[in-house]
Amino acid sequence: MEEQRGHSGPSETLYRLISTASPLLFLLFWEGLVQVGWLDYRFFPPPSTVLTVFGRLLLSGELWNHLSISLLRVLAGFALGALPAVALGLLMGWFRGLHAFIDPLVAATYPVPKIALLPLFLILFGLGETTKIVTIAVAVFFLVLISTVNGVRQIEPVLIEAGQSYGARGWRLFYKVILPASLPAIFTGLRLGLGVALLVIVGAEFVAANRGIGYLIWISWSTLAVNKMYVGLVTIALLGLLSTRGLEYLRQRLMPWAQDFHTPR
């Protein structure tokens, strides 16, 4: 045991160093290719230029103006989709009759690209915030629902039997055994759902917004402001990274016993 713990420390440190170094090396490689003329700076501006424009837009408030509204839309849509998905997923996983009734509907509607529903939502809700929030919510809902259902249905029977042997029955068994055992799958669904929420908001803001990161990318493309377009892309990438790390931190706090698959052995 002592030998295993001694091995895990350096391995984790090395893993974090590699995770940090790889994007930096990529950016340096990109910068070098532009500087020597192997990449056309008109379409692939050097990272140093993008960083300069990023700072200028941030200080002027223009970037925050777009970022803040996109964040509000993502958070509202994510909550609207994830919360009922977790609740329904737990019930579907636990009650076979409910699963048999709802699962065919999920199987039939899940393959439909959710961004393809945007025209329908535009007809129903107009160009306001509701359209974008509902589109995100629908996209998030299916991912979290399916992940939660699978998490419940894949619980080892021995865990349920152990809970029952200690007197857990009904809702007590549900809260003491089923819910904790399902949390890893739920968090996987939440992480996937948050990533899809960022994808959907960009697509929705392309055509149904006059503010937001997606709108910034679109209007920059249409005016050939390539540097600003890359700032929008970088901002979305940073949002994805920070949201994933935030959920991972929350998962570790709530489930220190659940080993993440990224952790090196």
- pLDDT per residue as tens digits for the range 46-62: 988 999 999 999 999 99
Is 142 or 18 the better-scoring residue by pLDDT? 142
pLDDT tier for residue 26 given thresholds of 50, 70 and 90: confident
110-116: average pLDDT: 88
pLDDT in tens, 248-264: 888 888 777 665 444 44
Domain 47-254: give its CATH code: 1.10.3720.10
Nearest to 174 by CA among 147, 155, 150, 146: 155
Average pLDDT over residues 2-13: 53
Query: Where exactly are the structural domains of the chain?
Result: 1-39, 47-254
Tell me if 1 sits within 8 A of 17, measured CB to CB.
Answer: no
The confidence score (pLDDT) of residue 41 equals 82
Res. 265 pLDDT band, cuts 50 70 90 = very low
The pLDDT tens digits for 169-206 are 667 777 777 778 888 899 999 999 999 999 999 999 99
| pLDDT > 90? residue 233 | yes
Distance from the Cα of residue 227 to its chain's centroid:
25
Each residue's pLDDT tens digit, 213-232: 999 999 999 998 899 999 99
